[in-house]
C-alpha cells in the first residue's frame, strides 16, 4: 500500500513539471516570434531647405520727435499787455498779431523825437547862411578867421544833430512797433503764460508763449558708433549693397507699436560721438500734415542699412544651443543621417535667424522633431508644413455644422 502511495506522488510531480515546461516553452516561442516581427521604426522629422535670397536689413532705433521750427515769444519793450489776440493751441500765421502792449508811452516818445528832429532841421538853414556870409567877408578880412571857423563848426553840429534825431525817431518808431507782438513763424501756438493786464519786461526770461512748426517734424534717434563701423565694413566688403536712393527712407513706429502711415527721410548723421554713451545722433525728417506726431513723443525708427544679396534665413525653432552656448542646427544629409552644424548668427529677422556661416545651400535643416533624434541617427525627412502620411490636408471650405 505504501508503494502505491509513493508512486502516485512521484507521478503528480512529473506531471506538474511537464506543464510548467510547456508554458515556459510557449512563452519563449512567443517572445522569439515578437522579436522577429517587431518593425524597426525610423523617426520622422520636418525640414526646411537652405536657400539664398536678397534680404533687406534694417535697424530699429529709439528716438523722440522735435518740432521743425520753434519760436519762443518774448516782449521787446516794457509795458502792460492790453489784449491777447490768439486762441491757445490754435494754428497761427507768420505776422499774425498775438499780444498788444499799451502803445501810449511809445507814441509820445515817437512824437517827441519827431519834434526834436523838426527843430534841428529848422535851425540848419540859418546857420548855413551865416557860414556863407562869413566866407565872403573873410576875403575882405571883415571877420576874423576864428569867427568863420566857429560858424562852420556850427553848421556841422546842426547837421549832426539832425542825424541824431533821425535815428531817435527811427528808434521810437521801432519801439512803438514792438508794442504789437506778432508771430515770427507759422505753426501751432501753445498756452499763454500771461493774461490781459500783466506787466511784461523786454527780453524777459519767461516766454509769453511758444510756437512750434510740426509739419514736417524731426525724429532724433541715437546709434552706437560700433554699429556704424560694422555697417561701413559690410558695405566695403560687399556683403551689403545700398538701394538706389542710398537707404535714406525710414519707417516710423508709434508708441503703441502701430506703423506711422508716411515714410521719413534720413537728413544727416551728427559728426560728433558722445563720449559718455559712445553714440551719435541721426536726424530724420517726417511729413506730419495731420499733426499726428507731437513734439516729445517716443517713437522707433526702422532705418534701412542695406540689402544682403545672398542671405540665409533659418527658422528660429530650428536653432538651439550646445553646452558651450554656441548656436547649432541639425541637418539631414543625403544618406538620411542626422548631422550637427555650428552656426554663426548675425541677427534675428522676424521669426528667423540670419545665418552668417555654418550652412550651405541645399542642406535640409530640422525644424520639428529635433528632440527625438541625435547626430548620426537615421531619420525620415519630410518638408516642413506638408501633411503627415495618413492624414488629410485641412479643408478650409468646411462649413460649421448647424445645431
Q: How far apart are CA 221 and CA 251, in angstroms?
A: 13
Cα distances (Å, whole numbers) of residue 231 to 226, 241, 248, 251, 348: 9, 10, 14, 19, 16
Question: Which residue, among 102, 98, 267, has the nearest Cα to 192 in the 3D structure?
Answer: 98
For position 164, what pLDDT does the model report?
A: 93
Length of the chain (residues): 403
Cα distances (Å, whole numbers) of residue 84 to 12, 96, 205, 211: 126, 12, 19, 15
**How are beta strands 380-383 and 44-49 bridged, if at all?**
parallel
Handedness of CA 110, 114, 120, 123 (dihedral sign): negative
Task: Pick out the chain residues at pLDDT < 50.
Answer: 1-11, 13, 19-20, 23-38, 389-403
Cα distances (Å, whole numbers) of residue 121 to 156, 157, 165, 389: 12, 11, 9, 111
Q: Which helix (DSSP H) or strand (DSSP E) does residue 44 occupy? A: strand 44-49
For position 34, what pLDDT does the model report?
A: 44
For position 231, what pLDDT does the model report?
A: 67
Partner residues linked to 14 by β-bridges: none
Neighbour-count burial for 112-137, b at 16+ CB within 10 Å, e otherwise: ebbebbeebeeebeebeebbeebeee
pLDDT digits (tens, 9 = 90+) for 154-207: 888 889 999 999 999 999 999 999 999 999 999 999 999 999 999 999 999 999
* Domains of the chain with CATH codes: 46-55+311-383 (2.40.420.20), 56-67+216-308 (2.40.30.170), 75-101+180-206 (2.40.50.100), 103-178 (1.10.287.470)
pLDDT digits (tens, 9 = 90+) for 69-84: 999 999 999 999 999 9
DSSP state of 42: P
Is residue 55 within 8 Å of residue 348, measured between CB atoms?
no
Looking up cell 566688403 gives 237
Distance of CA 55 to the CA centre of its chain: 21
For position 265, what pLDDT does the model report?
A: 86
Q: How far apart are CA 228 and CA 270, in angstroms?
A: 12
Q: How many CB atoms lie within 10 A of CB 207?
A: 16
Question: Which residue, among 274, 300, 271, has the nearest Cα to 286 in the 3D structure?
Answer: 300
Amino acid at each position: 500500500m505504501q508503494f502505491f502511495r509513493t508512486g502516485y506522488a512521484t507521478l503528480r510531480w512529473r506531471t506538474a513539471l511537464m506543464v510548467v515546461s510547456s508554458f515556459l516553452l510557449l512563452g519563449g516561442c512567443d517572445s522569439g516570434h515578437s522579436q522577429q516581427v517587431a518593425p524597426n521604426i525610423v523617426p520622422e522629422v520636418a525640414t526646411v531647405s537652405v536657400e539664398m535670397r536678397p534680404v533687406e536689413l534694417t535697424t530699429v532705433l529709439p528716438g523722440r520727435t522735435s518740432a521743425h521750427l520753434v519760436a519762443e515769444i518774448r516782449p521787446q519793450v516794457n509795458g502792460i499787455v492790453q489784449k491777447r489776440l490768439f486762441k491757445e493751441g490754435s494754428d497761427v500765421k507768420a505776422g499774425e498779431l498775438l499780444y498788444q502792449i499799451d502803445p501810449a508811452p511809445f507814441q509820445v516818445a515817437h512824437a517827441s523825437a519827431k519834434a526834436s528832429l523838426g527843430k534841428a532841421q529848422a535851425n540848419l538853414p540859418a546857420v548855413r547862411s551865416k557860414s556863407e556870409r562869413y566866407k565872403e567877408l573873410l576875403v575882405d578880412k571883415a571877420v576874423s578867421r576864428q569867427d568863420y571857423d566857429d560858424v562852420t563848426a556850427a553848421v556841422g553840429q546842426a547837421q549832426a544833430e539832425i542825424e541824431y534825431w533821425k535815428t531817435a525817431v527811427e528808434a521810437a518808431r521801432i519801439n512803438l512797433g514792438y508794442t504789437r507782438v506778432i508771430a515770427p513763424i507759422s505753426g501751432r501756438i501753445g498756452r499763454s503764460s500771461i493774461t490781459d493786464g500783466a506787466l511784461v519786461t523786454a527780453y524777459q526770461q519767461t516766454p509769453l508763449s511758444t510756437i512750434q512748426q510740426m509739419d514736417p517734424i524731426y525724429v532724433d534717434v541715437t546709434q552706437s558708433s560700433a554699429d556704424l563701423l560694422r555697417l561701413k565694413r559690410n558695405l566695403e566688403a560687399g556683403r551689403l549693397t545700398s538701394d538706389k536712393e542710398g537707404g535714406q527712407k525710414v519707417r516710423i513706429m508709434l508708441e503703441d507699436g502701430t506703423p506711422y502711415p508716411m515714410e521719413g527721410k534720413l537728413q544727416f548723421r551728427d559728426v560728433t560721438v558722445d563720449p559718455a554713451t559712445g553714440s551719435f545722433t541721426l536726424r530724420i525728417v517726417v511729413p506730419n500734415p495731420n499733426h499726428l506726431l507731437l513734439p516729445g513723443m517716443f517713437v522707433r525708427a526702422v532705418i534701412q542699412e542695406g540689402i544682403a544679396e545672398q542671405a540665409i534665413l533659418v527658422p528660429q525653432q530650428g536653432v538651439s544651443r550646445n553646452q558651450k552656448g554656441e548656436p547649432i542646427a541639425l541637418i539631414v544629409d543625403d544618406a538620411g543621417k542626422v548631422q550637427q552644424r555650428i552656426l554663426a548668427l548675425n541677427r534675428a529677422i522676424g521669426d528667423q535667424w540670419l545665418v552668417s556661416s555654418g550652412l550651405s545651400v541645399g542642406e535640409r535643416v530640422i525644424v520639428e522633431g529635433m528632440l527625438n533624434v541625435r547626430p548620426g541617427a537615421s531619420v525620415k525627412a519630410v518638408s516642413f508644413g506638408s501633411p503627415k502620411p495618413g492624414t488629410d490636408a485641412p479643408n478650409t471650405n468646411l462649413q460649421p455644422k448647424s445645431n
